[in-house]
Amino acid sequence: MMLSIYQTASDERMSSMFKWEGMASIDAPLLSSLLIMIILLIVGIIIGIRAKIGLKRKEYLKRPKGILFLAELYANMCDNFVASNMGNGAKIYGGYFWTLFAYLFLGFTFSLLGLPSVIDWLAAPLSLAIIMFVIIQFVAIKYQHFGYFHRYIEPIPVFLPINLITMWSPIISTTMRMFGNCLAGSVIIGLVQWALSNLSHNIFLSFGVNGIIGLDPLSYWNAYPNWTGTFLAPIPMGILNLYFSLFSGFVQTLVFASLTALWIAQERPSEDTNSKKDIPLTENLNMGISSKTI
């Protein structure tokens, strides 16, 4: 019964994901995604206005406090993450990871507020994976120029179909990883809640309590599982929600961001190459002479 309900809901969501029918197409997960983006936009505007005021007052000479302290702490965390995974020369991507961390973590934890989760809506992880793929290809073309296209026919042109699948596979793998983990958590929570509600209801029935409130068994207050079905569920459901929303959300956010950083870093020239290019010619000659002398 539960599996058939999830299958029907999944089929309807998949069929409506690629068509737009105006305001009728704004379902609950899309509304949650819009709310998250609005929250991030408002927070960004507030921080920007506060930073502009602090700049006029020359507050940068003092130790930051309040919202500026939190913003600086978060920005430094993102910059350190980029530097440790992509090198010091890649700090320009700090803004992207600032948004990515915030959106993903809020997307996973949004269900704690009683609102629909964003990540178990396939369009959200798919969009994030496509954005990641576009950034990776842009960085590759930026640094490799026309040599970028040679990867598709390596080692011989016959491998073109296989190389195309290899290039596009990160979109599928990262999408399914996030979507599968979040959907699995939702299914487990739903099944546990259904089982505990039935068990709790049967315990009350064994004592002769049917949970019916009033004379009308079809009223709103008597909707199954009635009040008798909420005896065992709250504490286990709270623990499961905290695990799948907070802990699992943090892990999945870190995994997706780390994979994105590593794939982008692979398309950039190594810092060792850049450092050798920055060494003056005279130092290169001196290094060559000393090495020959040795």
Helix (H, G, I), strand (E, B) or coil at 195: helix
Predicted pLDDT of residue 215: 56
Please check whether residue 2 lies inside any domain of the structure.
no
Please check whether residue 7 lies inside any domain of the structure.
no
Helices marked H in 20-93 — which ranges?
Answer: 28-56, 67-86
Predicted pLDDT of residue 278: 43
Chain centre to alpha carbon of residue 3: 26
From first CA to last CA, the distance across the chain in angstroms is 79
Question: Which tokens in the block code for residue 179?
Answer: 């979507």
The average pLDDT across 178-206 equals 80
> Is-contact 155 166, C-beta < 8 A?
no
Please check whether residue 8 lies inside any domain of the structure.
no
In sequence order, which residues have a C-beta less than 8 Å from that of residue 151 and are 6 or more positions away? 163, 167
- Total-model pTM: 0.71
In sequence order, which residues have a C-beta less than 8 Å from that of residue 222 and are 6 or more positions away? 211, 212, 213, 214, 216
Please check whether residue 77 lies inside any domain of the structure.
yes
pLDDT digits (tens, 9 = 90+) for 153-169: 777 788 788 888 888 88
pLDDT digits (tens, 9 = 90+) for 226-277: 656 667 777 887 788 888 878 888 888 888 999 889 888 888 876 644 444 4
pLDDT digits (tens, 9 = 90+) for 1-41: 545 655 555 555 555 555 555 555 567 777 888 888 999 99
Question: Which tokens in the block code for residue 149?
Answer: 């296209």
Question: Which tokens in the block code for residue 44?
Answer: 């960004």
Predicted pLDDT of residue 211: 60
Q: How far apart are CA 49 and CA 45, in angstroms?
A: 6
Please check whether residue 68 lies inside any domain of the structure.
yes
The torsion angle over the Cα atoms of residues 193, 194, 198 and 199, rounded to 10 degrees, is -50
Predicted pLDDT of residue 283: 43
Please check whether residue 21 lies inside any domain of the structure.
no
Identify the burial level of 207 via C-beta atoms within 10 angstroms of its C-beta, where 0-12 means exposed, 13-18 middle and 19 or more buried: exposed
> Is-contact 29 120, C-beta < 8 A?
yes
Considering its fold, how many domains does the chain have in total? 1
Please check whether residue 176 lies inside any domain of the structure.
yes
In sequence order, which residues have a C-beta less than 8 Å from that of residue 2 and are 6 or more positions away? 190, 191, 194
The pair phi, psi for residue 45, each rounded to 5°, is -65, -45
Question: Which range marks the domain in which residue 253 is found?
Answer: 28-269
The CA-atom distances, in angstroms, between 5 and each of 12, 180, 187 are 11, 17, 11
Check residues 262 and 282 and name the one with the higher pLDDT: 262
Please check whether residue 292 lies inside any domain of the structure.
no
Residue type, 165: I
